[in-house]
């Protein structure tokens, strides 16, 4: 039976030869519930070219996010927008660098230190009070 996901639900991707196992959380839209799922992908007999095409699709999805969110000075002036965004065209993406950035996740301690540095004493006090109420 599926388990309902929660904050901190385990997430991983494990590669073993041509078998990739992923544990992830995914929203079931009709019920509005996020479930924990384990999915195994078997790449046996898939060419390197086809694997690279699949990988390129994923990289493009992530890269297109930056293009979609790019700020422009005047969104109504289409010619100016095209000029300002022209740097996105014919761009070479170094996938190894993209992977390094995505792997550089913060530990819980690092996240806590970052929150502490970015928040006011009042917000920190409210967060601490909330955390204490959750332990009860």
pLDDT band, residue 101 (cuts 50/70/90): confident
Helix (H) or strand (E) holding 63: helix 48-69
Inside any domain, residue 33 = yes
What is the distance between the alpha carbons of residues 39 and 79, in angstroms, rounded to a whole number? 45
Give the count of alpha carbons within 13 A of 13, CB side only. Answer: 4
- The answer, as to whether pTM is greater than 0.75, is no
What is the distance between the alpha carbons of residues 59 and 74, in angstroms, rounded to a whole number? 28
Inside any domain, residue 58 = no
Q: Is 116 or 73 the better-scoring residue by pLDDT?
A: 73
Inside any domain, residue 13 = yes
Inside any domain, residue 60 = no
Q: Residue 110 in 3-state DSSP?
A: helix
Inside any domain, residue 101 = no
pLDDT at 109 over 80: no
Q: Which of 20-24, 28-32, 38-42, 130-134 has the lowest mean pLDDT?
A: 130-134
- Domain of 16 in residue numbering reads as 1-45
Structural domain tally of the chain?
Answer: 1
pLDDT band, residue 136 (cuts 50/70/90): low
Inside any domain, residue 37 = yes
Q: Residue 135 in 3-state DSSP?
A: coil
């Amino acid at each position: 039976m599926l388990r309902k996901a929660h904050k901190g639900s385990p997430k991983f991707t494990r590669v073993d030869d041509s078998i990739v196992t992923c544990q992830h959380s995914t929203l079931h839209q009709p019920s509005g519930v996020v479930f924990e799922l384990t999915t195994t992908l078997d790449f046996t007999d898939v060419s390197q070219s086809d694997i690279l095409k699949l990988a390129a699709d994923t990289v493009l999805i992530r890269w297109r996010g930056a293009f979609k969110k790019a700020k422009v000075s005047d969104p109504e002036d289409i010619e100016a927008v095209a000029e300002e965004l022209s740097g996105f065209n014919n761009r070479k993406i170094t996938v190894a660098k993209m992977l390094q950035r995505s792997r550089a996740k913060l530990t819980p301690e690092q996240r806590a230190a970052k929150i502490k540095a970015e928040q006011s004493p009042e917000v920190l006090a409210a967060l601490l009070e909330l955390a204490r109420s959750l332990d009860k």
